[in-house]
Structure 1
Amino acid sequence: MRHADIRIGISGWVYPPWRGDFYPEGLPHRDELAYASTMFRTIEVNSTFYRLQSPATFGQWFDQTPEDFTFAVKGPRFITHVKRLRDSSAPLANFFASGVLRLGHKLGPILWQLPPNFRFDADLLADFLRRLPRNTTSALRIARQHDDKLRTEPWLKTAGEQPMRHALEIRHQSFLVGDFIALLREADVALVCADSVDWPLVMDATSDFTYCRLHGSKELYRSAYGAKAIDLWAKRAKAWAQGRKPVESRFIGPARDISRRRDVFVFFDNTDKLQAPHDAQGLMERLGQPVRRLTSAA
């Protein structure tokens, strides 16, 4: 039976308040990713949400991280928040031409985060999901359709075909219907299990991997996870990886396909008060994963 991988990480890595705490005093800013990637086997890239990056930047990220490292890359808000998934052909092409494919085998899931006021629209969502590439060959084909709004030279090559995964995060109650889950399963797109203050916490299995974002359930982006909460998320991560139903779970649609082993990605996004690195390491410890201790006294 296939072995499932559990990767625990943080959301972003460029946070000035972390300097001298998570990051050792005097560490050059250019070395922060390299340092963080020695602590965690995956990191979620947030900067791609705000603006397109360049092939040179993606190349630097690749070079600064270990061979077994995996990036999750957040899709542009121009697609999800400005265009609201409409007329997405050119923006998708520009995104995939911007250098994403330069991450090569370190490219993990692409995260698509919908805004809180985005209501479920089955036809619109189905059209968008159909446009998402399922492998790097398809992504390259899409990238070649980029327009003149791409501000850097495009990256139009791959190191070979590999599968591509996508995850969708919802933030509106209108998505809590079975038709939504059916769409995700048909498209093989993972539903993000998002722990937050106001957004739905649901755990339907819709793809071959599980994607969790722990934003801080008491105070968004700020509250820490105590020992009891860390234990709960460790049990859930193990259950997903072993093909079991997670404890204290809530599903939108029928609880199908639970017995399938799944790779698991968990990202701590409670970054505002330096909680994320400590909580991530706490979860790694509960799962019996090797932990490199923080060098600060925090």
Structure 2
Amino acid sequence: MKYYIGTSGWSYSSFRGVLYPEGLKSKDWLRFYAERFNTVEINATFYRTPRKSTFEKWYAETPQDFVFSVKAHKSITHVKRLKDVEEELKTFFKSIEPLKEKGRVILFQLPPSLTFSKEVLEEFLAKLPSGYKHVVEIRNKSFHNEEFFELLRKRGVCLCFSDFGGRYASWVEVMTANFLYIRMHGRERVYFSNYTEEELKELSQTIKRFNAEEVYVYFDNTGLGYAVPNALRLREILRMNS
């Protein structure tokens, strides 16, 4: 079982003093981050398309075995809502080519208002290119059905376990691929609350129970910087129990 544990993004002022030394310039944050974590989620790609030179810089500043999980652009998930997205998918995957083998994990974050449609999902999943680990994060209870899970299994697409403290009905412990993908957004206060030792141990037990080939965990409780110690502590707990 291989673990990839990190945070949802690295460019946060809240990480100063928690991860980054006070005098470290922001241009050096990723390099510093990658010396301590083996993966990170890229959130910026959801809002805009970074320049090719930016992706090339990120690639150059990280170790050979580092993994970027790239969030798909909102035009795919939130604007066109998975329908008729051939061009959007083509543009997105073309844009991330400079990440090469480090950018092979792709996250599709669905909006809370999007409900399950077998026809839409089937067509969308069929358009996803091979050679990537695709992940879907749901935020609507209508996706809690075996038909949806089977569509994911058929394509080897991973259902994200997503903790929003009970909001959005997004935590569903159903394994649909040979790897696990978990997002920890914060329990009591989304993006801001700290995970307790007990909660992190509970998470480690969940991870162990599924016995996946690879496990990707990202802490998105970045508002006050708790994502950093939470990610480091989970990694420590998993190592102790391996």
What range describes the TM-score normalised by the shorter chain of this pair?
A: over 0.9
Cα RMSD (Å):
1.2
Deviation, structure 1 residue 167: 0.3
What CA deviation, in whole Å up to 9, does each residue of 1:176-203 have, x standing for no partner? 1111101111111000000113022111
1:212 corresponds, among 155, 179, 182, to: 182
The equivalent residue for 1:110 is 106
1:124 corresponds, among 120, 127, 136, to: 120
Amino acid at match of 1:97: K
Amino acid at match of 2:91: N
Supply the distance in 1 between the matched residues of 2:34 and 2:156 (Cα, whole angstroms). 28
2:78 corresponds, among 71, 81, 85, to: 81
Supply the distance in 2 between the matched residues of 1:37 and 1:203 (Cα, whole angstroms). 29
* SS state at 2:68 partner: strand
Query: Where does the alignment leave 5 or more consecutive residues of structure 1 unmatched?
Result: 136-163, 244-260, 290-298
The equivalent residue for 2:213 is 262
1:193 matched to 2:172? The reply is no
The equivalent residue for 1:279 is 230
1:92 matched to 2:89? The reply is yes
2:140 corresponds, among 169, 172, 176, to: 172
Supply the distance in 2 between the matched residues of 1:19 and 1:48 (Cα, whole angstroms). 23
Q: TM-score, normalised by structure 2?
A: 0.95
- Verify the 8 A CA contact 1:20 1:26 in the aligned structure 2: no
Query: Where does the alignment leave 5 or more consecutive residues of structure 2 unmatched?
Result: none
What CA deviation, in whole Å up to 9, does each residue of 1:16-43 have, x standing for no partner? 2322432111111111111111111110
Q: Aligned pair count?
A: 238
- Verify the 8 A CA contact 1:51 1:76 in the aligned structure 2: yes
Amino acid at match of 1:101: E
After TM superposition, which residue ranges in structure 1, 4 or more long, deviate above 6 angstroms? none
Supply the distance in 2 between the matched residues of 1:269 and 1:60 (Cα, whole angstroms). 23
The equivalent residue for 1:149 is none
Supply the distance in 1 between the matched residues of 2:23 and 2:224 (Cα, whole angstroms). 20
Supply the distance in 2 between the matched residues of 1:118 and 1:112 (Cα, whole angstroms). 12
Deviation, structure 1 residue 64: 0.5
